[in-house]
Amino acid sequence: MDLYAFINRMPYEGETLASNQYFESPGGKALNQAVTVARMGKSVSLIGKIGRDAYGAEIIEKLISEGIRVDHISTNSNTHTGNSFVLIDGQGNNTIITNLGANQCLSIKDVNDSLTVAKNASVALIQLEMPSNVRKHLIRQLNKLGIKIVLNLAPIVELPIKIRRLVDILIVNEIEAEQLTGTIVHDSNTAEKAANILGEQGNQNVVITLGSNGAVVKEDNSVYVVDAPKVKVVDSTGAGDCFCGSLGSFLLENDIKTAVEKAVKVAALSVTKSGTLYSIPSQREVYTYLNEKGRLFK
């Protein structure tokens, strides 16, 4: 559950500020990405864990209303549903503190049980807010099934390079790319350098997101830049999740380059509205937006 506070500026250390607006909304990386997939018109199942509390019940209700399968979302009675405190300033920048809660209780048994639905999937879009041994087991099992694995490694967590090599596409932002490579990423040139290092580590397909500057893509031996359309930023929270979810959707029917080009535009559209779930566009909104801008969405 995301708890949003809109403020004029970020507080200084030890300072108390009053917010201009507050609201709560179901969220979390996996949920945001699953909702994006569903709104892009694709069939999606979400696998994870919630606490036995009001937040958990509201999350399940929201997922069902979005047409997302929840067969493999289980409940842990001993901890709370994961939540995040989200601060958003007057320029649309955000700072987030995440409390993992029930996500940290996802087990190998939960993963194994979910493989019944995973066997019918073409793409597995994964995040790793779960115990270390479960992360490794999950990636190994998906790899054995031959499912295309798209890993959004955000935030950076402990994961051996030999396991990371098993994923088909690695998605990170500038900060995460720096943490993995030691290269400071601040523009497309430094992102290309980081992408090549990740390639040397064994990730042949890499996407480094650069916010308003689009993304740098390493696909096999080629590296290229995908520009993002210029928009008025209202709230950037969840833009990365919107990008990942739409990329996973478009990979079902497109090559990596085309999928990234489309996903960058969907993510740009998402930052023009407030709130993570509220800002994720529908397939119709994407068509309308891009047609109005003279870029027919095919």
Please give the annotated binding residues for ATP, written as ranges: 173, 209-214, 240-241
How far apart, in whole angstroms, are the C-alpha atoms of residue 82 and residue 220?
A: 36
Q: Buried b vs exposed e over 235-267: b needs ≥16 C-beta within 10 Å?
A: bbbbbbbbbbbbbbbbbeebebeebbbbbbbbb
Q: What is the dihedral of CA 54, 108, 147, 164, to 10 degrees?
A: 100
18's tokens: 């009053």
Dihedral sign computed on CA atoms, order 282, 117, 259, 25: positive
- For residue 227, indicate whether it is catalytic: no
Catalytic member of 53, 110, 168, 241: 241
246's tokens: 């739409």
The DSSP line for 145-176 is: HTPEEEEE--S-----HHHHTT-SEEEEEHHH
Report yes or no: 137 and 131 within 8 Å, Cβ to Cβ: no
143's tokens: 């790899």
213's tokens: 């500057």
Catalytic residues: 241
